[in-house]
Structure 1
């Protein structure tokens, strides 16, 4: 793992989330801290700090002094997380600067049109979707609300590798993004917020259909 100029525990946390998102770790399995520290080329102290952070985000479970394990996949948990993010993002959109949304809407529409099956095949689904939603909410100045959204989304990362690149599913997601952008371009903030909520609800159902 390459070392960057920021706290090592944060780098380790991000690296573990990256690996989890691409399916390198199985849900509901124990973590061998010594082996993982050796694999990452770090000491166990920053690794444990990163694991504690991930446990606080709901990604891991602490085994009461016996170490950590990856949290099991749960349809109920995923539904709950999606419901929370849908409500929070819709609120953040409603609290956004109207002038910012007017400027961002054309770019949001362009990015939505790029969200194709080709993107999925290149395994950039998560990055592209994050980029789009970050741009959408870039006009919200409520930092606590944005931090809360980021925290809840962290708990969803272990589900992302279950999303396939099936063409029909990607076309539906792209269409939902286009609908949100078009509502913003029409000056219909409430319609955009409702379309954003629908995007999360529909995405949840698409993901749940692929859970074991």
Structure 2
């Protein structure tokens, strides 16, 4: 396993909350599990510390960085504005996405775990922005969704929040199916903003 592959694996585990926020990362255990020495594990963790995903504490070693309310306040409004821009930019092409959005939301509403709910929620949003015609905008939104992946896992641990999200998604699908682009765009932004406030209540 290369250093880049090792770093990618650890990053995925942290983002998916397989390594919980604040949890100590046992370098020896990771090295033994993956069949590598501790050196590349430590190098990967040091690089991730520079990116803010890992923290080093004297006496404890490396930890998955705790969740940060400031990151939520800074990131969610950006996502809301960019997704509103992308949905608006799709114009009449947006309407053709209604069946796929409805199918994805049905699966989302039936999700059995927080991880599954997050993946389906992310897919719903990927579909929504897919017709905007601006690949750079889509890329920016995708990168920001990766940044909030750990936070979304916390959000979707509550069944009530999943039900509320599914209802908001259904309203978005209704607007998309009706060709009401402006209504759909505003509803998407409101959905993300409301999620932010609910999540902040838990942090």
The answer to whether TM tops 0.5 is yes
User: Could you tell me how far 1:27 is from its partner in structure 2?
Assistant: 2.9
**Over the residues paired in the alignment, what is the CA RMSD in angstroms?**
3.1
Q: Separation in 2 of the partners of 1:8 and 1:139?
A: 36
Q: Separation in 1 of the partners of 2:181 and 2:194?
A: 20
CA contact (8 A) 2:117 2:156 kept: no
Q: What whole-Å deviation, never above 9, does each CA across 1:66-109 have from its counterpart, x for those lacking one?
A: x965333221221211111111111122222632x221112212
Q: How does 1:1-212 map to 2 (within 5 A)?
A: 9=4, 11-28=5-22, 31=25, 33=27, 35-42=29-36, 44-45=39-40, 48=43, 52=47, 55-56=50-51, 58-60=52-54, 69-96=63-90, 98-99=92-93, 101-116=94-109, 118-121=110-113, 123-211=115-203
Q: Separation in 1 of the partners of 2:113 and 2:130?
A: 27
Q: What whole-Å deviation, never above 9, does each CA across 1:10-68 have from its counterpart, x for those lacking one?
A: x4444334422443324346655565344333565588468636844x433589xxx96
CA contact (8 A) 1:22 1:160 kept: no
Q: Separation in 2 of the partners of 1:156 and 1:95?
A: 24
The verdict on how the C-alpha distance between 1:130 and 1:69 changes in structure 2, with shifts beyond 3 A counting, is: same
Q: Separation in 1 of the partners of 2:49 and 2:88?
A: 30
Q: How many residues were matched structurally? A: 199
CA contact (8 A) 1:176 1:199 kept: yes
TM-score, normalised to structure 2, is 0.78
The verdict on how the C-alpha distance between 1:28 and 1:171 changes in structure 2, with shifts beyond 3 A counting, is: closer
The verdict on how the C-alpha distance between 1:8 and 1:82 changes in structure 2, with shifts beyond 3 A counting, is: same
Q: Which runs of 5+ in 2 are unaligned?
A: none
The verdict on how the C-alpha distance between 1:123 and 1:152 changes in structure 2, with shifts beyond 3 A counting, is: closer
TM-score, normalised to structure 1, is 0.76
Q: Separation in 2 of the partners of 1:92 and 1:59?
A: 28
More helix, by proportion: 2
Q: Separation in 2 of the partners of 1:174 and 1:78?
A: 21
